[in-house]
Amino acid sequence: MNTLLIIDDDIELTDLLTQYLEPEGFDVSCVHDGGEGVKKAIIQHFDVIILDVMLPTLNGFEVLKALREHIQTPILMLTAKGDDIDRIIGLEIGADDYLPKPCNPRELLARLRAILRRMKKTTANKTTIEQGGIVVDCSKRLVSFEGKNIELTNTEYNLLEILIKSKGQAFSKEELTAYALGRKYTSFDRSIDVHISNLRNKLGENAEGDYFIKTVRGFGYIFNA
């Protein structure tokens, strides 16, 4: 059983999702208040979290900020349909993926399973990689730069891992989206660009004063040790 926390004030929706997801192998807990959601997510371990934007006490963005100060559990945000601003803000703050609301339960299940597959796949890797002062411990999913720990979201870690493992090889946005997010890339999808921007800011610059991750114009990104 995979443990799942749903933070959403729509009781009818959370009941429906619970009925749909529990037979699919999820142990579901529900909280209908942002502040209570933060407390429960920090106190109790969950494999993945579904987080709505519109919540009482604390909204979804405030909850996400608070959680990222303490845990790196994968978080999928539910955003208003067609609201690109909410999606971009969520990704910038630290969400791993998003889904417009109302959502198709089958697509939600597919996104959750993709997140969990990526977690298991990377956790099973027992190697340690070091490039340009960056050290990636694949078994523990920990990253440090010049001895200082760097807190990354699940998606940021996935992007860094695939890029640093293949130094000198450029990856397209399509490849990075498939690996880090578990879905197909679309021409108007800025998710990878936002995650890469966050990752650059956290890693800082290399010895030459350049970003560790360089843009390959019109294609994607490459690791630059």
- DSSP class per residue in 153-172: -HHHHHHHHHHHHTTT--EE
The CA-based diameter of the chain, rounded to the nearest angstrom, is 55
**Same domain (yes/no): 117, 129:** no
* Same domain membership, residue 147 and residue 109: no
Range of the domain at 134: 125-223
Cα 77 to chain centroid distance, Å, stands at 10
Handedness of CA 139, 145, 151, 152 (dihedral sign): negative
pLDDT at 157 (0 to 100): 93
pLDDT in tens, 146-191: 888 999 998 999 999 889 887 778 889 998 998 888 888 888 889 9
115: CATH = 3.40.50.2300
pLDDT for 125? 54
157 in the same domain as 139: yes
Same-domain status, 180 and 163: yes
pLDDT for res 19: 96
Neighbours of 48 (CB within 10 A): 23
Render pLDDT for 61-74 as a digit per residue (tens, 0 to 9): 999 999 988 788 99
CB 7 within 8 A of CB 50: yes
Query: Most confidently modeled of 22-36, 120-134, 203-217?
Result: 22-36
Say whether pLDDT at 200 is over 80: yes
Tell me: the pLDDT tens digits for 95-151? 999 998 888 999 999 999 998 887 776 555 557 888 888 999 887 888 999 888 999
Q: 88, 121, 154 — which closes off a domain?
A: 121
pLDDT at position 12 = 94
Q: Within this chain, do residues 102 and 37 fall inside the same structural domain, yes or no? A: yes
Pair 182, 210 in one domain: yes
Q: CA 181 to CA 222: how far, in whole Å?
A: 18
Last residue of a domain, one of 92, 121, 150: 121
Cβ contacts of 152 within 8 Å, gap of 6 or more: 72, 143, 160, 199, 202
